[in-house]
Structure 1
Amino acid sequence: MDMTDPSRDDCPEEFNLTRRKLMVGGALFAGGMLLAPEISAQTLGAVAPEVSSNFMDVSSLLIDHHLDPEVGARMAAAMLRINPEIAQDIGAIIDIAKKKNARIVEDFFADIPEGRVKDTALAIISAWYTGVVENSANAEVFAFETALMYQPTHDVMTIPTYAISGPNGWNAEAPALGDMPTF
């Protein structure tokens, strides 16, 4: 049987893969993969390193817990999108803390003036505890399983999720079955 017969319809020409099409497709794929880190950094809203560093400094002053720097960078970017003046507010909070030689939030929080700067400090605390930066139906979740509101009871209570063993529970090994009863 002649496989090049033009009357055959079991392999239309548009589905016929030639080496040239394969090479062009591979080159386009490789080019796309090279651009992927740049695109993902833009879509995540990467912020300048000093803003992210200052955000983590303020966060560690406001919250006495181990904080994930990667989550902090994403939170800083999201908060900067919502409030472009947050960098100045963070700078003001750092200045107040430095003047008081603060190590923990109780050392300086009372000296933060009412208004935008105090609202920023409270928003940062809220973001770390709830895992979101705004209260809306479309809020982006940054830290579900690392949200600080779940940490005090982490050893005795499962984080609310559809997976019985906790977030990403479908990755966990299933418990061994006990001996089945014999009838």
Structure 2
Amino acid sequence: MNGYSNTMPSHGTRKYNVQSFPRPPVVERTNRHIQIKWHGQLIADCPPGEAYWVLETHHPPTYYIPASTVRMPLATTPRSTFCEWKGTATYYSMMSPISAAETISNRIWSYGEPQKGFEPIKGYLAFYAGPWECYVDGERAHQQPGDYYGGWITQDIEGVVKGQWGNWDPVL
């Protein structure tokens, strides 16, 4: 553990300031219940203690869930990206649970061979917080600004969040 307790007190006052998150980032198991809904249907349900979160300076947490908790089939896409910390990401597409005509691509990713320190998320899936609805312990999460990174913002996240201007660091 790196000092970022991921259990919320019952009164919900615990706050996480993204400016205090580490760089390089860390990956930790989280006790949070992660759910993803699309068109009102539950498409992923990850019980507390089965997900990981990656914490990095100026980023809200990015959640990684086991593929077994996703209830919809995924197909790989040609897209890949490289993260200096985690390695090469593979991206996926998913068909809507209500219409085969609606497929969303490149909003889900994973690391098949993550770099040292990130081995726990090998094969785990991360979702952008849209177009579906993403929930952390029942609270709807919002997307990190700028659509460049995949962090989820909840009420317990505070501080200056990176992303509005791509990968540029915020000016404090």
* TM-score of the pair, normalised by structure 1: 0.23
The structure, 1 or 2, with the larger RCO (C-alpha pairs under 8 Å, 6+ apart) is 2
Of the two, which has the highest radius of gyration? 1
* Larger relative strand fraction: 2
* Larger relative helix fraction: 1
